[in-house]
Chain A
Amino acid sequence: MTGVTTMTEPLLEVEGVDKSFPGVRALHDMRLELRAGEVLALVGENGAGKSTLMKLLSGIHTADTGMFRLGGESFEATSPRHAQELGISIIHQEFNLVPHLTVAQNVFIGREPRRGRLLLDERRLNADTTRLLERLGLPLDPRAVVGELTVANQQMVEIAKALSYEPRVLIMDEPTAALNDAEVATLHELIRRFVLPHTGVIYISHRMEEIKRIADRVTVIRDGEYIDTLDVASATTAEIIALMVGRAIDTGARPQGVRADRDVVLGIDGLNTKALLKNVTFDLREGEILGFAGLMGAGRTEVGRALVGADRIDSGTITLHGKPVRIGNPADAARHGIGYLSEDRKRFGLLLDQDVRANIALGALRDQFTRGGFVRDRDARATAQSYVGTLRIKTPSLEQTAKHLSGGNQQKVVIAKWLAKNCDVLVFDEPTRGIDVGAKEEIYQLLNELAAQGKSIIMISSELPEILRMSHRVVVMSEGRVTRVLDADEANQETIMHYATLRPDENPDDAAELGIRTGS
């Protein structure tokens, strides 16, 4: 820590950095400048090179060429541990916590205080952690087991762990991806109170409102190259997005109201599950996008999973085109033409190590692409190829491994899988999570096109702008119940938040009054 950092001298500088992987140039002539005491937002579409840059800074990869300076001194991080010793800490989007250990054990993992050489000093460990947590104003119990904490609190443990190294540079990769609005506010307060005076923060996010709230400057990168750095106070969201995608974005018109003349495709009546759902009732019409809004834990995802038989239903009826159906597992749901697109594509949606063709053909394999128990690869190929065209999936070939596609294109592959299966009810859980702005627009356009074709869509989303923009009607949930079904013209941030925060016992159990039943 020799270099003197002043306002004129940047804390962290990156200059002329190139990094290639076999067959891909990930970064070219990359630049970055972080000042002490600021939050620098780093934005770019998925695949723009943000992760690669962060991996270079944190010592996971090393650069081919280029210069890194911290406090005026050049450095090259050779391992995550080395980066940490230099004063660069990173909080990854996916947590690096050991779920079975306590908060304190996680914070001090790898450098536990000891008594003598062999014994752990559990008491000092907890005392040190208590002090750290108090300093940060985090209401956490050092002895709590991390796996039993909420996602938001796990995030706080990650932050406490990162700050316990007293870093000069703190990198946060999508820190709010799994947080609700209140938790985001707490996180931002924490950043402002404790991080800023001593350090610089690089804040990677897709959420523009957040960047406007927390960041001082924003650096935009695109296709592995530095584009520009703007002062957040004077830059508009549209400006930033335009730099990210390299073209102007149409923010889109609000959808028309419910088309009450269309047939009810799917009727859910009095759905209960042991875990959470209470008397969930709603209708889905043909060609409709039905938004599902609510706070974390309201039960939106659970409705989607129960509907496709992924979770057990204790009571309630599901009717499809007027006929009651029994859905005991996802195979039943698929047979009835109900497809589920999970919020966690990598875990529940894709065969990551398999190619695009195999992923698209997976669901419809037996119905369409086999004869006598053997796969007709030419048919599967032709179908996959036609969806790559119509859904505008960007992939070098059908043999590309799914894990090498960007988030948006992975999502399109999953959509193609269900379309190939001829599903006419599609349940999207967070359709644009982890997808960059440009690709989001494409997904939105695709959803509108699918609805226009007569597909019925359930769209579960935590992003209110997305709900408002896309939904013909909005089902609002709170604590496992539907508290209101809003028509497009009644739905706005305020009405949705009102019903999302309703305590269910304040909620009159009258379906007609709630607008749950559409017409008749």
Chain B
Amino acid sequence: MAAVKTQAPERAQGGGIAGALKGSLQQLLAFASLIVIAAFFSFASPYFFSYGNFTAILFSTVVIGTLAIGTTFVIIAGGIDLSIGTGMALCAVMSGVFLVKLGLPLWLGVPAAVLFGGLIGLVNGINVALLKIPPFIATLAMMLVAEGLALVLSDSTPIYFTEAPGYTEISTGNLIPGVNFPNAVLVLLVVALIAGVLLRKSVLGRYTYSIGSNEEATALSGIDVRRWKIAIYAFAGLFIGLAGVLISARLGSAQPATGMGYELQAIAAVVIGGTSLSGGKGSIVGTLIGALIISVLNNGLQIMSIPQEWQNVILGCVILVAVYTDRIRKKEL
């Protein structure tokens, strides 16, 4: 036993590759379904398969995608966040307050709006981790608070960003010269990359998985679970703020009453992407694919002139199929 520290590490054989394959199988499945759905629409409609339409799909994925990325952290940690939809509307309003009503410059007002989202998450985290309110209830309450505050702060009227020149460029501008590729998509891809690396490689990410796998064992291993849970919710909150900026920049206005419903779409994207609602498992890539599947479905069904009502029916069925195949796969392994 004196050799505890001195023995040279050996490479384990094979396990790494097998493990990696197993972990990404659900992502592969989700990705395959995405391809199948896209292929189907390509054959079903002549208008689907085009650069312009693909960009439109990506553009429409931005808001749900951003919200879903933050929520992925919360769900992997075994929680849930219902406040992201109306929270986003509140952050959009705050962006309007900062930039239009207070006249702050973009470089100050935009980060402030994003940080305000972090504040929403921080309060959620404190309610969940310190006051021990179940996440469903704590964030349901926050959902109502945010909805109300958004209306109060905006006098229930949209705030237009005409007096904040350049704001809409954040979403609709083209940073890449000569190509029609909206900035919002760029933002989504960059934050997805950052979030993906943080989830896989950072201490925050590792504890997110640990807490979701077994909160009690994690705490007994000497980790201050309460502090990390607060951090996870606050971090996820930044994505609420970012989504608020992106959606208001796209619309050119902060719409105080538009948030409700986005939270469920975002959670749907996370679940379709293979993240387990019981915690401990999931990935950012999966979530992105999940969000894309939702956008492709909405877009394709629209192109095929299928009424909005039916789109939701189909989306609901897709969620069931996604979770069901995940269950079957787990049983077989």
Residue ranges of A at the interface with B (Cβ–Cβ < 8 Å): 22, 308, 310, 329-331, 333-335, 339-340, 342, 347-355, 358, 362-363, 365-366, 370, 373-375, 377, 381-383, 385-387, 389-390, 396-400, 417, 419, 421, 449-450, 452-453
Contact = CB atoms under 8 A, between A and B. Distances in A.
Nearest to A332: B222
Given A342-B220, A362-B218, A396-B15, A373 B202 contact: yes
A509 B204 CA distance: 49
A490 to B, nearest CB: 29
Contacts of A374: 201-203
B222 A399 contact: no
A382 B201 CA distance: 16
A498 to B, nearest CB: 34
Contact of B222 (A335, A347, A354, A449): A335
B328 interface: no
Given A351-B213, A375-B203, A386 B218 contact: no
A88 B124 CA distance: 51
B222 A334 contact: yes
Contacts of B163: none
B235 to A, nearest CB: 12
B214 A350 contact: yes
Contacts of B219: 329-331
A333 B281 CA distance: 29
A206 B78 CA distance: 36
B4 A390 contact: yes
Contacts of A352: 213-214
Given A399-B18, A421-B221, 18 more contacts: A22-B332, A334-B222, A351-B214, A353-B281, A354-B209, A362-B210, A373-B204, A374-B201, A382-B9, A385-B10, A385-B12, A386-B9, A389-B10, A396-B15, A397-B15, A399-B16, A421-B222, A449-B1
10 contacts: A22-B333, A310-B220, A331-B222, A351-B217, A351-B280, A354-B280, A355-B19, A362-B210, A365-B206, A397-B19
A349 B217 contact: yes
Interface residues of B, number: 41
A36 B1 CA distance: 51
Contacts of B3: 390
A266 to B, nearest CB: 16
A365 B220 contact: no
Interface string B169-202: 0000000000000000000000000000000011
B5 A386 contact: yes
B4 A351 contact: no
Nearest to B201: A374
A399 B217 contact: no
B45 to A, nearest CB: 41
B1 A334 contact: no
A417 B213 CA distance: 16
Contacts of B223: 331, 334, 362-363, 365
Nearest first, the 7 closest Cβ-Cβ pairs linking A and B are A334-B222, A397-B15, A399-B19, A382-B9, A397-B12, A351-B213, A399-B15
A27 to B, nearest CB: 20
A329 B224 contact: yes
Contacts of A400: 15
A375 B220 contact: no
B1 A390 contact: yes
B305 interface: no
A171 to B, nearest CB: 24
A268 B38 CA distance: 67
Given A389-B7, A453-B1, A397 B14 contact: yes
B308 interface: no
Contacts of B333: 22
Interface string B11-30: 11111101100000000000
B203 A365 contact: yes
A351 B218 contact: yes
B218 A399 contact: no
B16 to A, nearest CB: 6
A389 B224 CA distance: 30
Contacts of A452: 1
Contact of B4 (A348, A373, A386): A386
B101 to A, nearest CB: 36
From A22, A331, A382, A396, residue with most partner B Cβ within 10 Å? A331
Nearest to B211: A351
